[in-house]
A = this chain, B = another copy of it.
């Protein structure tokens, strides 16, 4: 995907959007999961470039847990957790890889994986499918760049990306903020991680961001 022309990546992002708009008309479908597995270490079983879109008839536990914590934060602080995080990241700049007019690419605080990077829209929105088509070329540029950064920094690593977007149903949630999580798979998920749900990450996100920023500047 990193090697596709930006127009093609935009088309893929457009297809994700259109599929979600269509699928939410089926009342059995609840929770959209858009993801990509690249490389055997990331669980890919097909060699050609592809991504996957599954809508589950329940809210899976990890997503429900995140929604619960986001709602708790909103109830306590009166603001969206990701909006606050974006504000802090843009202030400190330590973990920001790239800022464009509408998106921020950064290595989040307490990330699970070395070089984990998130793409977040600056303007609050809970559902990816509500994105304006006019923003898709910009998002395609940021996503393509994020993937090329990883390729350059980590020599073409296996990776997953996962879209976080609120379940179908209630629109315009004040506490949920869609984003894309890019997860390089250069370290294994071992017994400690499987047993505890806690990830040991040997690379500080500030160091990851530094290296990825250098990659961005090369282009």
Mark A residues whose CB is within 8 Å of B. Answer: 33, 35-37, 40-44, 52, 54, 56, 60-63, 65, 160-162, 164, 181, 183, 187-198
Contacts and interface: CB of A to CB of B under 8 A. Distances in A.
A63 B54 CA distance: 28
Nearest to A51: B191
A87 to B, nearest CB: 25
Contacts of A187: 43
B198 A61 contact: yes
Nearest to A193: B43
A110 B8 CA distance: 39
Contacts of A62: 195-198
B197 A60 contact: yes
Given A44-B190, A52-B191, A190-B42, A196 B33 contact: yes
Number of copies: 2
A-B interface, 5 closest residue pairs, ranked by CB to CB distance from nearest: A43-B190, A62-B197, A43-B188, A35-B191, A60-B196
Contacts of A183: 191, 194
A162 B60 CA distance: 23
A164 B41 CA distance: 27
Nearest to A189: B189
Contacts of A65: 61, 197
Contacts of A54: 192
A101 to B, nearest CB: 27
A162 B42 contact: no
A146 to B, nearest CB: 15
A35 B195 CA distance: 8
Contacts of A161: 191
A184 to B, nearest CB: 12
Question: Which of A54, A187, A189 has the largest number of chain B CB atoms within 10 A?
Answer: A189
A21 to B, nearest CB: 20
Given A60-B197, A160-B194, A183-B191, 12 more contacts: A33-B195, A33-B196, A35-B191, A35-B192, A35-B194, A43-B190, A52-B192, A56-B198, A61-B196, A62-B197, A63-B196, A164-B195
